[in-house]
């Protein structure tokens, strides 16, 4: 990673003086979008690739530059693990150059199988291999967090035994990635609309597992869209589980679109995170309520609105 550190240290000064390259200026955003959104956000909202293709095109590096130009200081890529190693490195180099963070990538999330809830030796071997693959991604990108989902619950096994198995599975995985300082963030998902049948659904449940695993690499990604559906009580649960939350996903409900389109008061939620000193990523894992270029503008404007709290 020394090469990336060198690139970042030598390039940032030039960025501050000259801005984004002329080649990108010619191909990126319309002037009205670029002129109104250069100020940094208070928090590290992290769009994903594909969010701004109408303005930035399909090239991933141009998309990163556009996000940076709009004030975003992080991105996330659920599919990072599936990209070619050379592209992973290229993404990481550009993020380093611009001083942007990279949010959690999906390391293991199979919604169709009973995995961590079992003691199946084949499942344990599969998890070990996934962890090793995740470490290879970390070497190329210097990413700090990787997302895991424990899979489906087993209708033929007592819930407490399943919980104990998940604890053992997570401890095994953390023992593999921990020495390399990769953090595993478990994601509770709603079973009412999107993911029926999964084992992990609530923040208190994830908190209990983190307590039992008792490992610095065992943490939580709090997806506020899912938790609004599953349990509500968003701010109190943030406070109760705070010591184990390493990342957030967001999307409004109903509809899973940008903030301000549903019932969640993201202005209050984000101010609460800011007041608590949160400095991690907030992955914008949702769609857009309006198609096309206007929808991309509306996306940016929505985050400006919910980020407009007094600091």
The length of the chain is: 311
14 pLDDT more than 50? no
Is 2-306 assigned to CATH 3.20.20.150?
A: yes
271 pLDDT more than 80? yes
pLDDT of residue 18: 34
Higher pLDDT, 29 or 249: 249
Which of 14, 73, 1, 65 is CA-nearest to residue 39? 73
Token representation of residue 35: 């002129």
**Band of the pLDDT at 43, cuts 50, 70, 90?**
very high
The answer to whether the predicted template modeling score (pTM) of the entire model surpasses 0.85 is yes
Percent of the chain with pLDDT over 90: 86
Q: Yes or no: say if 303 and 41 are a contact pair by the CB < 8 Å rule.
A: yes
- The whole-angstrom distance between residue 25's C-alpha and the CA centroid of its chain comes to 28
User: How many Å apart are CA 286 and CA 260, to the nearest integer?
Assistant: 12
- The whole-angstrom distance between residue 139's C-alpha and the CA centroid of its chain comes to 19
Q: Yes or no: say if 103 and 45 are a contact pair by the CB < 8 Å rule.
A: no
34 pLDDT more than 60? no
pLDDT of residue 310: 83
């Amino acid at each position: 990673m020394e090469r990336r550190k060198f690139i970042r240290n030598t390039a940032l000064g030039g960025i501050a003086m000259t801005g984004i390259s002329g080649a990108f200026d010619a191909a990126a955003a319309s002037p009205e979008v670029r002129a109104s959104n250069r100020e940094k956000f208070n928090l590290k909202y992290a769009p994903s690739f594909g969010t701004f293709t109408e303005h930035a095109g399909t090239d991933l590096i141009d998309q990163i530059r556009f996000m940076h130009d709009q004030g975003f200081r992080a991105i996330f890529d659920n599919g990072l693990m599936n990209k070619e190693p050379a592209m992973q490195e290229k993404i990481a180099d550009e993020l380093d150059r611009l001083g942007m963070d990279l949010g959690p990538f999906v390391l293991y999330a199979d919604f169709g199988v009973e995995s961590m809830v079992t003691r199946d030796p084949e499942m344990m071997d599969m998890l070990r291999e996934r962890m090793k693959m995740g470490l290879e991604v970390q070497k190329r990108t210097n990413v700090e967090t990787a997302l895991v989902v424990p899979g489906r619950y087993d209708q033929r096994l007592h819930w407490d035994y399943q919980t104990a198995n998940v604890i053992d599975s997570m401890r095994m995985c953390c023992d593999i990635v921990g020495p390399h300082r990769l953090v595993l963030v478990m994601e509770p998902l709603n079973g009412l609309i999107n993911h029926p049948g999964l084992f992990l659904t609530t923040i208190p449940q994830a908190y209990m597992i983190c307590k039992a695993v008792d490992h610095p690499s065992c943490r939580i990604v709090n997806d506020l869209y899912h938790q609004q559906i599953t349990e509500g009580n968003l701010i109190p649960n943030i406070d109760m589980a705070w010591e184990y939350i390493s990342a957030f996903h967001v999307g409004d409900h109903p509809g899973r679109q940008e903030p301000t389109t549903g019932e969640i008061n993201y202005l209050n939620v984000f101010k609460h995170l800011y007041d608590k000193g949160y400095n991690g990523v907030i992955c914008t894992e949702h769609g857009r309520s309006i198609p096309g270029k206007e929808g991309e503008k509306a996306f940016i404007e929505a985050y400006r609105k919910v980020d407009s709290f007094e600091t």
